[in-house]
Structure 1
Amino acid sequence: MENINNKELTICKKKTMGRRKIEIKKIEKKSSLQVTFSKRRTGLFRKASEISVLCGAEIAILVQSPANKIYSYGHPSVETLLHRYQTGGGGGGGAALNIIPYMEDGRDKYDEAVRKLEIVKRSVKQESSISSTRFWWDEPMEGHGTLRT
């Protein structure tokens, strides 16, 4: 009985082609061409985004669809990179240099927060050392709110 079930399972399994290489040639069917372009374009832009994030690369991509529409992707922007290319301006380490002021500002904010934290810690420590010698009911009533009836 168990052997029959195994045979039925293997017969019902759908056979797939899996991931295989395709021949690189122009697709003749218009609908397939548009679908392939759309999928490949998003994949291309995703890869460009990954390389710009991972490596700090500045990227501009222009793609013309089979329907003659122009699609673009750019990091930081296509216009910035095209302008730099047209004017001949080099971009040697531009992205890394642009982030330095932000890092310095963040470091200053961090140092200020650490300084404030130390002040608060000292005041809490002083208050706890003072209050540890007395009970709360022994403290004067002036600092407490009044009861309302």
Structure 2
Amino acid sequence: MGRKTIEMKLVKDKASRQVTFSKRRNGLFKKANELVTLCAAEVAIIAFSPGGKPFSFGHPSMEDVSERFLNADPMPKPRGDDPNQEGGMQELNQELTEVLKQLEIEKKRGKELDKALADQSTCIFKKPITQLNKDELMNLKTALEKLHEDLKSHLSEIEASASLLLLNKAIEKSDN
């Protein structure tokens, strides 16, 4: 099932409108982050939800970009006291982009795993464990040990990704 193009008009149902806003907002902020990362652009976005709640994205910060825009300032003011001004924030944006890519890959992998679980033909041992012979039990033990190591590795990756996301959210909060 592919994506459908929808007609550009106001969504009548309030619940659907809120869902559409959330999805589109996330996509918009993701694109803004990519623009910042790829082009070293200064970007500021403010969006109000249908419920009136404000959401913002700004790089290097909303204040810097809005001040520059309102004052028609052609060049940003150098700030030596901000470690995130040039290198640090750009690195965090790149890490966030990588984490978002990894998240998409993991979502696809999860769907594949769900499909494999639903398909009983992928089961290695069709007999109950009490009916396995010694060689089959050794193969099962090896498979379970490998699965255990893979799960530990995957868990470490997820924890690292979550830490990066929390760090980025903390930085964004401090910037706002």
TM-score calculated relative to the size of structure 2: 0.42
Question: Which structure shows the bigger proportion of residues in helix conformation?
Answer: 2
By relative contact order (CA 8 Å, sep 6+), the higher-ranking structure is 2
TM-score calculated relative to the size of structure 1: 0.49
